[in-house]
Structure 1
Amino acid sequence: MKYVRLTLRFHDDVVHPVHELIDRDEGVERDLLLHGNTATEGWDTLLFYVDGDPDTYAAALEAADGIVDYELTHLGENSFYAYIEQEADAFDAALFERFSRTGVIVVPPVEFVDGGEAHVTVLGDPAALQSTVDDLPDGLDVSIDRVGEYDDRQAAFDPGLTGRQREAVAVAVDLGYYAVPSEANATDVAAELGCSAGTAAEHLRKAERNVMSALVDLRSFE
């Protein structure tokens, strides 16, 4: 059973107003679409998991056109579910249609990250996967990040890194930041990321915290 990991880059005119928030506000670290239903009384029903400031997220929902209703369910100080009902638009309908065709399945979550991007995993028949990628609607660019045999065990360990945190860790590993002795420092990582050393160090600290927390939570540690 084949799968493909895609990065979708939404053009400015089709980026959802709430997802523009991810670019503008560092208070939202992680935005995952867990489930979606496009067949409910003329509007879409969506469930997101969010790491970030709920007040900021709620303000974005209030300001966005097309939001019919929403409810935030708090899980902790800075994590919550967002249940959203929104009016369907032509672009979203076209995108949902492509990923709902026979022979393909979207494996949740879909992760929305800064830069107007989303990471999507789709599995199914190779021919159907290829036709889906080839037939995505205008308004976005797509790149294929990974192709292979699907194995659900890849989701067993999920440290919950944001796209930027994963990028920082990947750069750090490549530069030898974690080598013993270390071959790079936060300034070197920052130079590759195009940010300050303090920002790079913060990305790495948060990533390390999440990885270690997820590791300790594994059953093998009980």
Structure 2
Amino acid sequence: MREITLRVRHRGEPESDVSADYPDVTVRSVSSLSGSAAERKRIVELSGPRAAIEGFLDDFAAADPVLDVEALSSLDSDRVFVAVTYDSYQWDSIAQRLTDHGVHYRAGTTIRAGWEHWTLYLDGDDDLAAIVDSLESAGNDTELVRDVALDELDDEEHLAFSRIVESLTERQLEVLSLATDAGYYDEGSDVRVEDIADELGLAQTTTWEHLSRAEEKVMAEVGEYIGARGR
């Protein structure tokens, strides 16, 4: 079995289109669908600057297929849970296209800067080209991010780690990667946030904010993983 990661620019789908206008907001699906054939409902998590989340919700709620947006947690936060109800007849479903191909895929899709991140698990007889053609025939753009055989990996740890990486925005991943490469987290390191900021050409406060958010997400996922293992 192979693990495939695709980035999909889901054209005409509100979460993807609105996300493109709010690149600092990360959208993650946290529940399965429920409801009737016409009206479907699910819960999503939004993370990012508060003002950006509020702007995202305003624009998203105004989109034609969206019937209702209900905040389930306080908007006075950089992490908000929202129940979304939409008209399924106006919504091109990537999940349905994958299901039509009999493809296993990971729940909890992440959307950042207009791109949906889908992780698929393909058997030897699954045709990746046909799957990509199905997605692109609907006017979407696709990019292959990863294609690796699962038997080359330490399965459980890899799956948990890839979820952590997917939770980060591209900028957070860039800052965290540079900090790690520079030895920022090494014992006795004299690397400072200012050094990372200079390397990236960013303001010190901006760099600190990206690094802080990345660390928070990583530790939250690690804590959840450790808790699930009972350690």
Q: TM-score range by the shorter chain?
A: 0.7 to 0.9
Match of 1:147 in 2: 148
Q: What is the correspondence of 1:46-85 to structure 2 with a 5 Å cutoff?
A: 46-52=42-48, 53=50, 55-74=54-73, 77-78=76-77, 79-85=79-85
Q: 5+ residue gaps in structure 1? A: none
Match of 1:206 in 2: 213
CA distance 1:190–1:108, shift in 2 (3 Å): farther
8 Å CA contact 2:16–2:116 kept in 1: the answer is no
Q: Deviations over 1:167-197 (max 9, x none)?
A: 3212322344434564855455446656433
8 Å CA contact 1:7–1:143 kept in 2: the answer is yes
Cα RMSD for the two superposed structures? 3.7
Q: Deviations over 1:59-107 (max 9, x none)?
A: 23332222112322117952333221222467724x3432112431221
Match of 2:99 in 1: 100
Residue 181 of structure 2 aligns with an amino acid whose one-letter code is D
8 Å CA contact 2:4–2:120 kept in 1: the answer is yes
Residue 7 of structure 1 aligns with an amino acid whose one-letter code is R
Residue 168 of structure 2 aligns with an amino acid whose one-letter code is T
Q: What is the correspondence of 1:92-171 to structure 2 with a 5 Å cutoff?
A: 92-93=92-93, 95-114=94-113, 116-128=114-126, 130=128, 131-137=130-136, 138-149=139-150, 151-156=155-160, 161-163=167-169, 164-171=171-178
Higher strand proportion: 1
CA distance in 1 between counterparts of 2:199 and 2:20 reads: 19
Q: Deviations over 1:144-164 (max 9, x none)?
A: 324231834445566584223
Residue 204 of structure 1 aligns with an amino acid whose one-letter code is L
CA distance in 2 between counterparts of 1:7 and 1:46 reads: 21
Length, aligned pairs only: 216
Match of 1:34 in 2: 30
8 Å CA contact 2:22–2:56 kept in 1: the answer is no
Q: Deviations over 1:111-130 (max 9, x none)?
A: 0112x212111113233251
Q: What is the correspondence of 1:191-202 to structure 2 with a 5 Å cutoff?
A: 193=200, 195-202=202-209
Higher helix proportion: 2
User: Which has the larger displacement, 191-200 or 135-144?
Assistant: 191-200
Match of 2:8 in 1: 8
User: Which has the larger displacement, 46-55 or 199-208?
Assistant: 46-55
* Sequence identity (%): 22
CA distance in 2 between counterparts of 1:156 and 1:216 reads: 11
CA distance 1:61–1:136, shift in 2 (3 Å): closer
